[in-house]
Copies of this chain bind each other. A is one copy, B any other.
Amino acid sequence: MLLESLRKEVLEANLELVRRGLVLYTFGNVSGIDRDRGLVAIKPSGVPYEEMTCEHIVISDLQGKIVDGDLRPSSDLPTHLELYKAFSNIGGVAHTHSEYATSWAQAETPIPCLGTTHADYFHGPVPVTQPLSASQIQGDYELETGVAICRVFQKLDPDAIPAVLVAGHAPFCWGKNAAEAAHNAVILEYIARMASHTLLINGQVQPLARELHDKHFLRKHGVHAYYGQAKKS
């Protein structure tokens, strides 16, 4: 089977979204890329998770041409492809309609960094895209969604803020592979929940101090990270 190990990773990352309660029915989709071959593996459209196997995962090239697989890919494939083309370090993309992250996307409000849980994963607020114009919506909609995401990251580092809220729609997350993309989607949902609660408790709360935000992000990421177990070389 073409790209069997990537398919397995992608299948597993999709199932992780189910286990963590981020998807209802067939909602959501995760993909992964093989950079050397320029091929993307993505969940098929509308197939129940409980029946999904590696064979169902669809292989596409970066232009969206299906290279392997009998099923239609997720209709959001063109959005994933835009992200892979623009963000050169990422290896996986996850899209969900998870309850609270989607609510922030619907509110068209960036998620401010209100605590260290957020700072551990996202080095700044989680941004929102600009709404698409009528002609973008009626044109190549899913591709335009990817373009709108990339426009937000012209001035932001996608490796330091691995998530975005698509206005009126839902979040997209990414990471160094499919598993990390799904993991970031789970974390995003959790910080979205807590940000909602926090603002109801204290509507005047200010974002976390920059120093504390940096401290937490950098103790988990980058060359001086000291969280978790040291990677053996």
Q: Which residues of A are interface residues toward B (Cβ below 8 A)?
A: 24-27, 44-47, 71-72, 75, 97, 99-100, 102-109, 114-117, 131-132, 134, 137-138, 141, 168-170, 183, 186-187, 190, 193-202, 205, 208-209, 211-212, 215, 219, 226-230
How many angstroms from the CA of A106 to the CA of B118 in the assembled complex?
A: 10
Q: Which of B45, B102, B228 contacts A117 (CB 8 A)?
A: B102
10 of the cross-chain contacts (CB-CB < 8 Å) are A72-B229, A103-B201, A107-B114, A107-B205, A109-B202, A115-B169, A116-B169, A132-B212, A141-B219, A196-B201
Question: Which chain B residues border A202 with CB–CB below 8 Å?
Answer: 107-109
Q: Is the CB of A168 within 8 A of B228?
A: no
Whether B46 and A211, one on each chain, are in contact in the complex, defined by CB atoms closer than 8 angstroms, is no
Closest to A197 in B: B103
Given A103-B198, A116-B170, A137-B211, 19 further pairs, Cβ under 8 A: A24-B190, A45-B227, A46-B228, A71-B229, A72-B229, A75-B227, A99-B190, A102-B194, A106-B194, A106-B205, A107-B114, A107-B199, A115-B168, A115-B169, A116-B169, A131-B209, A138-B215, A168-B208, A168-B212
